A = this chain, B = another copy of it.
Amino acid sequence: MVFGKTVPDVSLNAVANLGYAEARWLSPVFEGDTLRSVSEVIGLKQNSNGQSGVVWVRTTGFNQRNEAVLEYVRWVMVRKRDLDAPAPETVIPDLKPVLHPEDLVIPEGLNFTGYNFTLAGEPHRFGDYEVGEKIDHVDGVTIEEAEHMVATRLWQNTAKVHFDATNRADGKRLIYGGHVISMARALSFNGLANAQMIVGLNGGAHANPCFAGDTVRAYSEVLDKAETATPGVGAVRLRLVAYKHGAPEFALKTDTGKYHPDVLLDLDYWALMPL
Contact = CB atoms under 8 A, between A and B. Distances in A.
Q: How many copies does the complex hold?
A: 3
A136 B224 CA distance: 52
Contacts of A142: 145, 163-166, 173
Contact of A140 (B146, B149, B166): B166
B245 A166 contact: yes
A141 interface: yes
Interface of A is mostly: loop
Contacts of A245: 164, 166
Interface in A132-179: 139-142, 144-147, 149-150, 158, 160, 163-167, 173
A4 to B, nearest CB: 14
A212 to B, nearest CB: 9
Contacts of A86: none
A27 interface: no
Given A144-B145, A147-B150, A164-B215, 4 more contacts: A140-B164, A142-B164, A144-B144, A150-B150
21 contacts: A8-B121, A139-B160, A139-B164, A140-B160, A140-B163, A140-B164, A142-B145, A142-B164, A142-B166, A142-B173, A144-B144, A144-B146, A144-B149, A146-B146, A147-B149, A147-B150, A150-B150, A164-B245, A165-B215, A166-B215, A166-B245
